[in-house]
Structure 1
Amino acid sequence: MNIYFILYGSCLLLTGLSAGLFYSYQCSVINGLGVLPTREYLLSFQGINKAILNPVFFASFIGSLLLLVLTALLVWYNSISDLLPYLVTALIIYALGVFAVTAAGNVPLNEELARLDLTTATGAELEQFRQKFEVRWNRLNLVRTIGAILAFMALIIPCIKKLAATI
């Protein structure tokens, strides 16, 4: 087992964890939150936004990006051309479709929600905020879910090719 195998496998694992997180959120948490009354929806979302900011999440979310960059650079530098296209593809998709979407879209919405005082806002203000927040946040989450899945799939392709060659 060489360092490239370990690095590539780590990229695969971390990207897969991110894809799984966004996928499970997309097909369960969003639906569960969506049926809540507005005040409870916003309160629950605030709680989830605080809870997800933890080392385990950051290890997969940011770790995927950093490890993809590192691995792609090492593979390029050492002329391992059979893996490079998959790493670069996964890196571009993850950087733009997951990381940038989160940083430019979901995080600002989360910060806006964190500033919302649920104890002083009227029911109408909360409803107006939810209408603006929920649709946009859910769309952005769908984009990053698809991005994470596509990045993960890009990394799986050489594994499938290698397996298919042995059958």
Structure 2
Amino acid sequence: MKDHSNRLSKPMMHALYFPSLILTALLTGLSAGLFYAYSCSVNLGLARLPDNEYLRAMQEINKAILNPVFFMSFIGSIFLLAFASWLSHSEQVATFRLLLAATLVYAIGVFGVTVAGNVPLNDTLAGFNINAATADEIRLQRLHFERPWNKLHSIRTLCSVGAFLLVVIALCKTK
């Protein structure tokens, strides 16, 4: 009787490894690029806006980012990082360690920070009615949102760039 516990044969795993690593690098790079570009342009531009315009812009951006293209790179990176790590585990120890590190950095520092930090701030902001708020309430809302959100965003930017660099190094080490 054939053992079907390992669904992917070794040749199939080998054939999938390099393409999965390339796609992993692409999606992780796209995420890192998004967070980096946001840090060095969008956040700087938004910081110059008056309080009510800043809050309104962030409300709209937070709605607009929830789209399939964003989710493909943001969530796809986690799955591909884990998949590429798994494919490399038996033959390329150094590459496996790099990919496992990239997976952990991305899962905790990008995905985890986003889900546990940025999303709750976004949800609170989404429930804030700018039109019904006083100038003081608007100022306080921005104060409670902007600095914490930007700090968390800096963490996920550094982690996404770090994860991408680890994937690039792993790609360079691949035989």
Q: Please give the TM-score of this superposition, normalised by the length of structure 1.
A: 0.92
Count of residues in correspondence between the two structures: 162
Residue of structure 2 equivalent to 1:8: 21
Residue of structure 2 equivalent to 1:48: 61
- Identity rate, percent: 48
Q: Give the letter for the 1:20 counterpart.
A: G
1:153 aligns with 2:132: no
Q: Give the letter for the 1:54 counterpart.
A: N
1:94 aligns with 2:106: yes
Alignment of 1:82-121 (within 5 A): 82-121=94-133
Pairwise CA distance, 1:83: 1.8
d(CA) in 1 for partners of 2:149 and 2:170? 33
1:123 aligns with 2:140: no
| Alpha-carbon contact 2:27-2:77 (below 8 Å) kept | yes
d(CA) in 2 for partners of 1:82 and 1:98? 23
Residue of structure 1 equivalent to 2:72: 59
Change (3 A) 1:15 1:134: same
Change (3 A) 1:4 1:60: same
Q: Give the letter for the 1:38 counterpart.
A: D
d(CA) in 1 for partners of 2:169 and 2:83? 20
Residue of structure 1 equivalent to 2:44: 31
**Residue-by-residue CA offset, 1:86-121 (whole Å, 9 max, x unaligned):** 110100100111000000000000000000011111
Q: Any idea what SS the aligned residue of 2:162 has?
A: helix
- One of 66, 70, 73 as aligned partner of 2:83: 70
d(CA) in 1 for partners of 2:69 and 2:137? 35
Q: Give the letter for the 1:67 counterpart.
A: L
d(CA) in 2 for partners of 1:140 and 1:158? 27
Q: Please give the TM-score of this superposition, normalised by the length of structure 2.
A: 0.88
| Alpha-carbon contact 2:32-2:161 (below 8 Å) kept | yes
Pairwise CA distance, 1:130: 0.3
Pairwise CA distance, 1:132: 1.1
